[in-house]
Structure 1
């Protein structure tokens, strides 16, 4: 007679990583093995919109940057439309903008980087307009499942204040963990977005 389900022992969990960069981000590992490499470059030479870079680190609970984290982002184009069949807005597509990117943290510094453009605002549920943002998915050793979050722009204060997702975060001081500071170096606009996995300044992660 089979035992009831509550007598079965729990299967041991496994963490999501570390990852083999040769297969997931080969350009970072120094390999050119795919016809179309997964890349941290979302914008082409003809992409419309403000050129920006997004940089940061994935930091564990001890304050240590992870040098083997893998990150993916996806975002709308400068007009506020996603390059996806489900987005049927009457807004222009940009054939030179991929809208999706993947990279790993630098092996030495732990810093990740994406070269992209600043997205436009997009409608959310019930047609409520969302502030310009970039969607993130993060995986690394010590994480059982991938983590999802968003990056908003510090220079979009009015739009951020009205954003329906940010306003779901009851602890207002925690909203700042999703806001990227604007700066510049080497003549390029750079938004800095550190992702903290645990601890006092833990990034707000989304259940999607």
Structure 2
């Protein structure tokens, strides 16, 4: 990996939490974020690289295939208070719709430059931030194709653990997805995120606030 690439990566990771404040937070809803299934592809084997930049893998020079996006947000309780030091597990399929998991039988190719899994810790204001690629859709069965989505699992002592999924607003597959459509409004709107490019920004950014329930 070149010195320039290393410096770019270090700069992004150094600002992976604090820079989240640059993106305006989505309006807080009083309800907790709807639960969604963990699915069969939650990472079960530890991997060396689980940092906030999933577009690159430590020790490799290449970048993941696909559209690079940045996701930021806050973990909050029902009263809107920040939840600091929460562990935010993030995992997803690559741009081809394939998980790096032994149970995924999708014949789509793997991407050796895609990290696929990140483990983040929220800061004092409950903020988190990571860089990834827009995941690809993948077939579940003949009449069901899952839309692009990212899995989240949030854990913090004193709060109920929450597993959910974030979806990309405007994707045509959202309206036919059995999991997303199983959530009633307004809960469904809490899972849909708009991605836009701010003036001067390199990539599109989206905000996904997560509301958890105290024990």
Bigger drift between 70-79 and 116-125 goes to 116-125
The unaligned stretches of length 5 or more in structure 2 are 1-15, 17-46, 57-61
Residue 208 of structure 2 corresponds to which residue in structure 1?
193
Residue 139 of structure 2 corresponds to which residue in structure 1?
123
Query: Is 1:134 aligned to 2:134, yes or no?
Result: no
Q: How many Å separate the matches in 2 of 1:161 and 1:59? A: 28
Shift of 1:68: 1.5
Q: 2:55 aligns with which of 17, 26, 43?
A: 43
Q: How many Å separate the matches in 2 of 1:114 and 1:167? A: 27
Query: Is 1:173 aligned to 2:186, yes or no?
Result: yes
Q: 1:183 aligns with which of 196, 199, 204?
A: 196
**Cα 1:137–1:87, aligned 2, differ >3 Å: closer, same or farther?**
same
Residue 82 of structure 1 corresponds to which residue in structure 2?
99
Question: Normalization by structure 1: what TM-score?
Answer: 0.71
Q: Tell me how many residue pairs correspond in the alignment.
A: 162
Q: 1:113 aligns with which of 117, 129, 141?
A: 129
1:20-72 deviations in Å (ceiling 9; x for gaps): xxxxxxxx9xxxxxx93531221114210000111000110111121211101
Of the two, which has the highest radius of gyration? 1
Q: How many Å separate the matches in 2 of 1:124 and 1:56? A: 29
CA RMSD of aligned residues (A): 2.2
Q: How many Å separate the matches in 2 of 1:183 and 1:196? A: 23
1:157-193 deviations in Å (ceiling 9; x for gaps): x211111101112x23221111112123433211110
Higher relative contact order (CA 8 A, sep 6+): 2
Q: How many Å separate the matches in 1 of 2:92 and 2:49? A: 19
Q: Give matches, 1:59-74, under 5 Å.
A: 59-74=76-91
Shift of 1:142: 2.0
Q: Secondary structure at the match of 1:177?
A: helix
Q: Is the 8 A contact 1:42 1:99 kept in 2?
A: yes
Q: Is the 8 A contact 1:70 1:102 kept in 2?
A: yes
